[in-house]
Amino acid sequence: MTTRHILVVDDEPDIRVLLKEILDDEGFDVAVAENAAQAREARRQRRPDLVLLDIWMPDTDGISLLKEWSADSHLDVPVIMMSGHGTVETAVEATRLGAYDFIEKPLSIAKLLITVQRALENANLQRENLGLRRSAPPLAEPIGRSRAMEQLRASVLRIAQHKTAVFITGESGSGKEVVARFLHQHSPRANGPFVAVGVAGLARENPDAELFGTETDGHVTYGSLEQANGGTLFLKDIADMDLSTQARLLSALEQQAMLRVGGREAVPIDVRIVAATRRDLQAEVNAGRFRDDLFYHLNVVPLRVPSLHDRIEDLDDLLTHYLDYFVNNEGLQRRDFSPGAKARMRDYRWPGNVRELRNLVQRLLILGNGETVEGQEISSALGIRAPAEADAVPPGYDLPLREARERFEKHYLEYQLHACEGSVSKVAERVGIERTHLYRKLRSLGIDPRHIKEASRD
């Protein structure tokens, strides 16, 4: 389990010492500041996971400091206000500015510890919910009982216990972020943050600011690397990262410290990197579009997420999951999928993978009519050219068994003779039939091996 960093800001030495000792004993990493100036410097040096902030201080009061931090970074860490002279108006103002809670002095240690724990849990929950809303993956873990998925889950659970970087590949929509979240949840960093960054969506004019943060005239904004401190940073679409940002990221990972954009001093980081791409990163390296040293740093443990087409036996489990999800969480009317509908879904290639399946289920529940999804509705939704009639019969299936068998044997043996350039002895050996019996069969089916041999010579 990684250590959470707490900043205590109070002008009373006895309070600072007491809080530091108590929080140290609880396993937290604690920094202290006696005034606003020291608090700004401590926050600049390292992003806290939580701040305990006294309201009444000699230079700048806690409400003013809270207002300043709210304007800087939208208060991306929980702040618990402390005061021995608090009023209702002060508590309301602190809450309006984004403070998580307000506790009165003299402090109740039991209440303080409960409030700290709840504030940290709430911050994690908000961060998780934000990531889920952005990517909308209603999967808590990789779903499926296919051999490929069993092996993938087993590999993730083994890898999760180690600190090494992980590199995930797979087609678009195959569930790479689900695998990354599953890995984080089963790692010693599970209580730390999980921060997902779409590299392709970084601001083109200054991608470094979003990853590394900024520092200007004492004002600090935290980038994704610091927000993920003590946890996991998931870099989606890593192949889209420009070369200068790649160099800066490699330096940060090797030194376990980074400089904010405009910063003066290196900031220590403790982050596990999980990178993902749908592209061939080795080919990007060969083409000079991706740094080979960063590739080797990230590609310590590779994981491949199979496409849905390659694990189509998981279709029923995925369908059940998404039906339950949209019915229970979005209040949509349940519809069952007929055997014919499932058969057409199994025959489909699923270029959009699990994401395409999820969107299809949602669309059919919203727009469809009736209690059952039939095959024709699947064909229309997926743009599959359906048979002329719903009960169309495959070629040859309407023949008597004997005639159908003879037709198959004729086509089969003609193919084998062409493959063996008309040699009956080679065909007999190839298909496992006695040569004399094969000659009789060829005559009964009206096949002349000599014509096929002459055609092969031409």
DSSP of 296-335? HHHTTEEEEPPPSGGGGGGHHHHHHHHHHHHHHHH-PPP-
Q: What is the DSSP letter of 140?
A: S
Q: Could you tell me whether strands 101-104 and 267-268 are parallel, antiparallel, or unpaired per DSSP bridges?
A: unpaired
Average pLDDT over residues 55-68: 88
- Identify the residue whose tokens are 């080797």: 296
C-alpha separations of 415 from 190, 196, 382, 403, 440 in Å = 59, 55, 35, 19, 17
Is the full-model pTM beyond 0.75?
Answer: no
CA separation for the pair 261, 358 (Å, rounded)? 39
CA separation for the pair 88, 277 (Å, rounded)? 52
CB 253 within 8 A of CB 205: no
**Whether the predicted pLDDT of 135 surpasses 50:** no
**Whether the predicted pLDDT of 137 surpasses 70:** no
Q: 5: closest CA among 46, 66, 53?
A: 46
Q: 172: closest CA among 316, 347, 350, 345?
A: 350
Helix (H, G, I), strand (E, B) or coil at 223: coil
Q: 83: closest CA among 55, 111, 64, 57?
A: 55
Confidence label for 456 from pLDDT (cuts 50, 70 and 90): low
What percentage of the chain reaches a pLDDT higher than 70?
A: 91
> For the chain, what is the mean pLDDT?
88
Q: What are the DSSP E strand ranges found in 278-423? A: 301-304, 336-337, 372-373
C-alpha separations of 331 from 83, 251, 291, 366, 372 in Å = 45, 48, 47, 10, 17
pLDDT for 133 equals 46
CB 3 within 8 A of CB 29: yes
Helix (H, G, I), strand (E, B) or coil at 30: strand
CA separation for the pair 411, 447 (Å, rounded)? 10
pLDDT in tens, 76-128: 789 999 988 767 788 788 888 889 998 988 889 999 999 999 999 888 777 66
Q: Which domains does the chain have, with CATH numbers?
A: 5-132 (3.40.50.2300), 137-304 (3.40.50.300), 309-382 (1.10.8.60), 401-457 (1.10.10)
Q: How many C-beta neighbours within 10 Å does residue 286 have? A: 11
pLDDT in tens, 199-257: 988 877 788 999 999 998 778 889 999 999 999 999 999 999 999 999 999 999 999 99
CB 39 within 8 A of CB 65: yes
Q: Angle CA(144)–CA(150)–CA(152) in degrees, nearest 5?
A: 105
Helix (H, G, I), strand (E, B) or coil at 20: helix
CB 434 within 8 A of CB 442: no
pLDDT for 451 equals 75
pLDDT in tens, 304-332: 999 999 999 999 999 999 999 999 988 99
CA separation for the pair 275, 234 (Å, rounded)? 6
CA separation for the pair 352, 359 (Å, rounded)? 10
pLDDT in tens, 340-351: 899 999 989 999
Average pLDDT over residues 145-170: 95
**Whether the predicted pLDDT of 136 surpasses 50:** no
Q: Which of 134-143, 327-336, 405-414 has the highest mean pLDDT?
A: 327-336
Q: Angle CA(201)–CA(205)–CA(210) in degrees, nearest 5?
A: 55
